[in-house]
Structure 1
Amino acid sequence: MNVKRLTVSATPGSLRVVAVWKSLIEHHAHVCGWSAHVNTAGGRESLSVDLVDCPAERLAIISAALSAGPMRVLTSDAESTLRSS
């Protein structure tokens, strides 16, 4: 199982969480975990979403769509916490 982490960050008040989830739904992404973080000292908010078996092309499309506004998107490999049956 291949898990990729998509981390979307922005300045406080600029993180569009609904837009992130809407994009994931529109592109049929399979989410297996997520976390939200606020760094008040650094002035950043972020949402990290773990995606299972997301093809590279789809990940690129999602990243591009979310990067079009005030948000910054990073992708990385993630450790899977899911057990295969």
Structure 2
Amino acid sequence: MTLTSLIGFAAGAVTVVSFVPQVVRVWRTRRTRDLSLGAFLLLGTGACLWFTYGLLMRDPALIVTNLIVGLLISAILVAKVRFD
């Protein structure tokens, strides 16, 4: 594995971990009133586009990171719709 790949996976791991506390809090408290639906829709769209770009470029770091981030954002969006 190259240094470039390691940096990509490290960046991906940090990005993924950054969403976990929000997902946990939303599902524990069932409170989403203060979360912006528009912001999370944009984040989800961005993750989907980055995932697609990763597939086209055959970049495992982009693919894995944005697949997981997309799932985490989806969990937040489902909670937002369900609990608001």
Say whether the fold is shared (TM-score over 0.5): no
Higher share of residues assigned strand: 1
Q: TM-score range by the shorter chain?
A: 0.3 to 0.5
Choose 1 or 2 for highest CA Rg: 2
TM (norm. structure 1) is: 0.32
TM (norm. structure 2) is: 0.32
Higher share of residues assigned helix: 2
